[in-house]
Structure 1
Amino acid sequence: MFLIIGCAATQQNKLSEQVSDTIFPKGEKVESPNFTGSIWLNMMGTNNSSINTRYGLVTFEPKSRTYWHSHPGGQLLFITSGQGYYQAKGQQIQLLKKGDYVEILPNMIHWHGATPDSEFSHIAVSLNIDEGNVIWLQPVTDEEYYSVTK
């Protein structure tokens, strides 16, 4: 029994270490039908029409991900910690790590989230927000998510 508790504590410490290198607070847990798994959000910017952007830190627990979605005004992702995936519809899944960034064109259908073994954080910047809100689509299936390992 002690061994099981010790292993669980070790795993929790590893997860804490993975996120502790991020420079911003993790934020609040998100309850949304548009994600698989647990997600945290720290909204950093306000709805300031003069800069026409919305931005915040998004943290995904391992295996967590967004649904397929698009942004009418485009989006930027700046990876701050962990390892994650990004996939645009019809393209190969890309492995992302701290220091990487992704430029997502307006209306590009895509998803992003953590790898199976790592928490993952990025600053997401929604651009040209006057073009409209995020368009949420269907979940990313386990088959789609795990296709990167095949």
Structure 2
Amino acid sequence: MDISPKASRPAGRGPAETFTGEVSVTPLFDTNDDRSFSSARVSFTPCARTAWHTHPGGQTLIVTAGTGWVQEWGGDKQRITEGDVIWTPPGVKHWHGGTSETAMTHIAIQTFVNGRPVDWLEHVTDDDYLR
């Protein structure tokens, strides 16, 4: 058994290269010899969001607080709220974040494929976000 105390997993600011707005990322667990996936708690202030991205092994989001948006490339934004579980299949271009008026926190779980969990793409423009 391995216990990872909260103090050993400090939150960090989401980097401007991959996020817009104020985002806090708290690692929960990493891959290890027996586990090929990792997880983090990600908190978005209103209007904060990820850049467009894909996951080679897919991604599961579990909304733990607030209300947010998730959108697949070419689709409509979908409202997500506390308790929602979202599965994005491998290779699907998408983004997620808070609404323009509310914060949102989710737990993200993603599988590593060939040593990477995510492929970051361009930022979601303000126009696209507000649409």
TM-score, length-scaled by structure 2? 0.87
Structure 1 gaps of 5+ residues are 1-24
Deviations 1:8-39 (A, max 9, x none): xxxxxxxxxxxxxxxxx992323341110011
Residues 1:26 and 1:62: Cα distance change in structure 2 (over 3 Å)? farther
Q: CA deviation at 1:45?
A: 0.5
Higher strand share: 2
For 1:86, the aligned partner's letter is: V
**What residue is the counterpart of 2:97 in the other structure?**
113
Alignment gaps of 5+ in structure 2? 1-8
User: Does the 8 A contact of 2:110 with 2:117 survive in 1?
Assistant: no
Aligned length: 122
Q: What is the alpha-carbon distance in structure 2 between the residues aligned to residue 133 and residue 46 of structure 1?
A: 11
What RMSD over aligned residues (CA atoms) do the two structures have, in Å?
1.6
1:81–1:108: structure 2 CA closer, same or farther, 3 Å change rule?
same
Give the Cα separation in 2 of the matches to 1:72 and 1:102: 16
Distance in structure 1 (CA, Å) of the matches to 2:113 and 2:91: 14
Percent pairwise identity: 34
Contact 2:62 2:108 in 1 (8 A): yes
What TM-score, normalized by structure 1, do the two folds share? 0.76
